[in-house]
A and B are shown apart, each in its own frame.
Chain A
Amino acid sequence: MGSTAAEVTTEHIHSLAQGIRKRVLQHTLTNNGGYMSQACSAAELLSTLYADILHLPPVSAPLLPEAFAGTPAPGGINRQTGAIFHGGVSAEHDRLIVSPAHYALVVYAALIEMGRLDENALDSFNKDGSTVEMIGAEHSPGFETTTGSLAQALSHAIGIALARRTKKDSGKTWVFMSDGEFQEGQTWEALHAANHYSLDSLRIIVDVNRAQVDGPMDSVMVIEPLEEKIANFGWDVRKVDGHDIDAIRLAGNDSSSRPMAILCYTDPSRGLPILQERYPVLHYLRFKSSDEQAQYQAAYEEMSR
């Protein structure tokens, strides 16, 4: 919360990442279900992004998630968004648009680790009347736009960044994406547009965990070589080990005269090796037996030491 780059150590970010895994695993154990592999793959990416790379306005204290107020309607009704957990919006600060809305549990856990969201917020996860929804939408903590139909967030961010350019905002506009979204045609339309408008204030950071609902991406629809493809669309592309905090920091804090994509290659079982037994279907963890649940409970206790 409000930390500056100079104050943040790699060790601290590492502890935030472990905290994300732990919170998501704890929640998964309690509820017999959760997006666990996404926490394992994106923990370092999100903790580094929030703790070091993004310049977000601070929040004075962890915010309680609000009850769902109703769907938006013309006239500005119910148009408030989860951006308040990012400290709201201002000209000089960065913005983060979360694209893979099914990572919501992981994003909420990251916000709790950052002291931006109340530590008990996951108690209302997927509960009726709550904004802490299973698939985040724009009223959910950390979400600014509604992105559960994947691959629209990058376009939203381009519109936001183009408008911010007209207002001469100095802050950057970031998008957190998942690699599966590169199977959607709209992503490539958006990559064209960002290059056409030389949107140097735009950054995407991608969890390339090479896993999707049906299994390994290479078996569902190959998207590689991603680095070359995005580079050929005119972007500045950085390919890093998505669990190497220093590598993510280096790329994320670099400047560029072009829109930049940081591809974080990750392991969807990192920090929780027992998940490998479920390979290749990792998208959602629901325990098949009480024995399996006990094994994950043991892993949680190991993680807590």
Chain B
Amino acid sequence: MSFEIVARPHQDNFLQWAADKPEVVVLSADLTNSCEVGVFRDAYPDRFYSMGMAEQNMLSVAAGMAREGLEPWLHTFSVFLYRRPLDQLQMSMAYPALPVRLVGFLPGITTPGGVTHQAIEDIAVLRAVPNMTILEVGDATEVESVIDVAHTIDGPVYIRQLRGEVSRIFPKEEPMVLNSARKLSSGTDVALMTSGIMTEEALRALPLITQRGVSVDHLHISTLKPFTDPAVLESMSRVSKGVITMENHSIVGGLGSAVAEVMAENGVGAKLSRIGIPDTYAHGASQKYLMAELGLDARALVTRVEQAVGESLNITDEELTEARIVDVHSSAKAEAL
């Protein structure tokens, strides 16, 4: 399974998108090129606010701007948007339900920057924050279209954004839609719900799983909050051998937990298997290494499907197509993080 690779899909797309939106301003905390908004800074210096390494102030300043009719788009690494300044996020921005956009880069284990840079519980934390909308992109088409989705929401939005070299999995003419899962395959054995980079990873294994006779109902989830898309319940109600979730996030509080809530509240009597970071911190290592170590890769999915259907599928490592892991020193990134 191979896809077109798009270099820095956010960079020029956001620049062009913002051209006719004078209310759109960018705030950055010393990670401007790392978050692909250096070109925006150069094109629109009057709409770019360098806030320094001071994220608490940055979030509260953005709230003040939003009250005055600007639409602030904060660009920095995810951990510096929700973890360090959580009180400011909540009291300055989420309580008043202001239209501030938090564009968070390096979700989960997509960075070798280690524990300080890996946002592994951001969805869990922010799902518990009232008034938030949480979006996660899974490919270049979603990187490009997530900004339209966020722009329409008159309230705070957190985006798990991708950068650098990003696969295009979904057709360019099929943009992200708020609270609407993408149906990637229909099946009756196992319901699989994947988000973010996990969708591409799952797609490495799914042709083999299907070939072995397992029928998978596969949804790609890009809206984590709200989580009321009826397609989720429909999918899990259709299958006989269980539900599997797969996310680049802790198994606590993210997609797997959201799916569990839907199952429990609707009395869906099925086993749920959550693939994700197993309630542990990660460390500085490559994405491929961490995915294997933490059980987030295509092999992990095969194992969980085997457990669900109660039989071995006899899929060899050689059969699992080679993972597309971007070189840490890719020229599409400003640094190696």
* Residues in chain A within 8 A of chain B (CB atoms): 71-77, 79, 138, 144-149, 152, 155-164, 166-167, 185-186, 189-190, 192-193, 196-197
Contacts and interface: CB of A to CB of B under 8 A. Distances in A.
Which residue among A146, A157, A189 has the maximum number of chain B CB atoms within 10 Å of its CB? A189
A163 B155 contact: no
A186 B165 CA distance: 35
B174 interface: no
B92 A155 contact: yes
B97 A162 contact: no
B68 A163 contact: yes
A152 B52 contact: no
Contacts of B161: none
23 contacts: A71-B95, A71-B130, A73-B97, A74-B131, A75-B97, A79-B96, A138-B96, A145-B67, A155-B63, A155-B88, A156-B63, A158-B61, A158-B64, A159-B61, A159-B63, A159-B64, A159-B67, A159-B72, A162-B61, A163-B67, A185-B56, A190-B57, A196-B50
Contacts of A152: 60, 87-88, 91-92
**Which of B61, B62, B67 lies at the interface centre, i.e. has the most chain A CB atoms within 10 A of its CB?**
B61
Contacts of B39: none
B335 interface: no
Interface string B81-98: 000000110011001110
B51 interface: yes
Contacts of B336: none
Given A145-B67, A149-B87, A196-B52, A72 B57 contact: no
Interface of B: 46, 49-52, 54, 56-57, 59-70, 72, 87-88, 91-92, 95-97, 130-131, 133, 153-156
B92 A193 contact: no
A190 B92 CA distance: 14
A152 B63 CA distance: 10
A243 B72 CA distance: 40
B91 A146 contact: yes
Given A156-B60, A162-B65, A75 B88 contact: no
B49 A74 contact: no
A185 to B, nearest CB: 7
* Majority SS at the chain B contact face: mixed
B91 A149 contact: yes
Nearest to A97: B64
Given A73-B131, A74-B153, A74-B155, A79 B60 contact: no
**6 pairs of A and B residues whose beta carbons are closest in the complex:** A159-B64, A74-B155, A155-B60, A163-B68, A189-B57, A189-B54
Given A159-B61, A159-B65, A163-B70, 13 more contacts: A73-B155, A75-B155, A152-B91, A155-B59, A159-B63, A159-B72, A160-B68, A162-B64, A163-B67, A185-B56, A189-B52, A189-B56, A192-B57
B96 A155 contact: no
A71 B2 CA distance: 48
Interface centre among A138, A148, A163, A167 (most CB of B within 10 A): A163
Contacts of B46: 166
B52 A193 contact: yes
Contacts of B154: 74-76
B228 to A, nearest CB: 14
B18 to A, nearest CB: 15
Contacts of A75: 97, 154-155
A164 B130 contact: no
A185 B60 CA distance: 13
A158 to B, nearest CB: 5
Given A145-B64, A155-B60, A186-B88, A72 B69 contact: no
Contacts of B67: 144-145, 156, 159-160, 163
Contact of A155 (B50, B52, B57, B66): B57
